[in-house]
C-alpha cells in the first residue's frame, strides 16, 4: 500500500477516536446533569410539606415511621456518595436528610 493511503487511514482512525472521546464527554455531562436534576427535584419534594407544617403549626398527619425510614435511606445514599466521591449525591441527599429531619422535629413539636 502506498504511504498516502496509510496516512488517510491514520487520519480516519484519529477522527474516529476523537469523536468517540467527545461523545463520551457529552454523555458523561448529560448523565451528571440528569443526576443533579433528579437530586434537586427529589430533595425539594419535602419543602411544600415543611412549609405547610410551619404555616398550620400542626403535623399529626405526618408519619414519623416513614420519616425515620426515609432519613435512614437518605443517610445510606450520603454514605454511598462519600464512598464514590460523588458530590451531587452527597449534597442533595444531605440536604434531604436535613429537610426530613426538620419535618420530623416539627412533627413532635406540634403534635403535643
| pLDDT tens digits, 33-85 | 788 888 889 889 999 999 999 999 998 889 999 999 999 999 999 999 999 99
User: How many domains, the chain?
Assistant: 1
Domain extent, residue 8, equals 3-110
**DSSP assigned state of 46:** T
This prediction's pTM: 0.72
Grid coordinates representing 63 are: 408519619
Convert the pLDDT of each residue in 75-93 to its tens digit. 999 999 999 998 889 999 9
User: How far is Cα of residue 94 from the mean position of the Cα atoms in its chain?
Assistant: 10
H/E/C letters for each residue in 51-108? HHHHHHCCCCCCCHHHHHHHHHHHHHHHHHHHHHCCHHHHHHHHHHHHHHHHHHHHHH
Q: What CATH number did the domain enclosing 89 receive?
A: 1.20.1280.290
> Shortest CA distance to 96 belongs to which of 62, 73, 65, 64?
73
Amino acid at each position: 500500500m502506498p504511504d498516502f493511503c496509510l496516512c488517510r487511514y491514520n487520519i480516519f482512525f484519529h477522527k474516529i477516536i476523537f469523536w468517540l472521546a467527545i461523545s463520551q464527554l457529552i454523555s458523561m455531562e448529560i448523565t451528571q446533569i440528569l443526576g443533579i436534576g433528579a437530586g434537586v427535584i427529589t430533595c425539594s419534594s419535602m419543602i411544600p410539606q415543611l412549609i405547610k407544617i410551619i404555616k398550620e403549626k400542626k403535623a399529626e398527619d405526618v408519619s414519623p415511621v416513614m420519616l425515620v425510614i426515609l432519613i435512614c435511606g437518605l443517610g445510606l445514599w450520603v454514605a454511598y456518595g462519600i464512598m464514590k466521591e460523588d458530590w451531587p449525591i452527597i449534597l442533595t441527599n444531605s440536604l434531604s436528610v436535613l429537610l426530613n429531619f426538620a419535618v420530623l422535629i416539627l412533627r413532635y413539636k406540634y403534635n403535643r
